[in-house]
Amino acid sequence: EAGVAQSPRYKIIEKRQSVAFWCNPISGHATLYWYQQILGQGPKLLIQFQNNGVVDDSQLPKDRFSAERLKGVDSTLKIQPAKLEDSAVYLCASSLDGTDNQPQHFGDGTRLSIL
């Protein structure tokens, strides 16, 4: 099966600019996750979708970050305006149905550098 697709792979922007990332999960996977991974740390969950509804966005900085999954398939994550501390790898993952024992399948991520 095709894996989780993410684009772009790399992005360099200046602070205060905006940026968007795209994710296409594995076909048939109802649950989609966006993570932020800062160098040397484990992934931090930003938002979890079940189909097109938000399950958990408690760690999403809502003043600057937004995400949507309008048709329950693809998803976009946006940062506006970007800050220096947003430099990180943004990982998208999906799982079959979000059941607690299901593994998550990750894309290769988007590496964001803020100048």
Partner 1 sequence: AQSVAQPEDQVNVAEGNPLTVKCTYSVSGNPYLFWYVQYPNRGLQFLLKYITGDNLVKGSYGFEAEFNKSQTSFHLKKPSALVSDSALYFCAVRDMGWDSNYQLIWGAGTKLIIKP
**Residue numbers of the site for partner 1 (CB under 8 A)?**
4, 6, 40-45, 56, 91, 93, 100-101, 103-109, 111
Q: How far is the CB of 17 from partner 1 (least distance, A)?
A: 24
**In the complex with partner 1, which residue's Cβ is closer, 17 or 51?**
51
61/81 with CB nearer partner 1: 61
Cβ proximity of 37 and 43 under 8 Å: yes
Task: Report the DSSP pairing between strands 105-106 and 88-95.
Answer: antiparallel
Nearest Cα neighbor of 82 from 12, 33, 6 is: 12
81 or 111: CB nearest partner 1: 111
We find the least distance from the C-beta atom of residue 81 to partner 1, in angstroms, to be 27
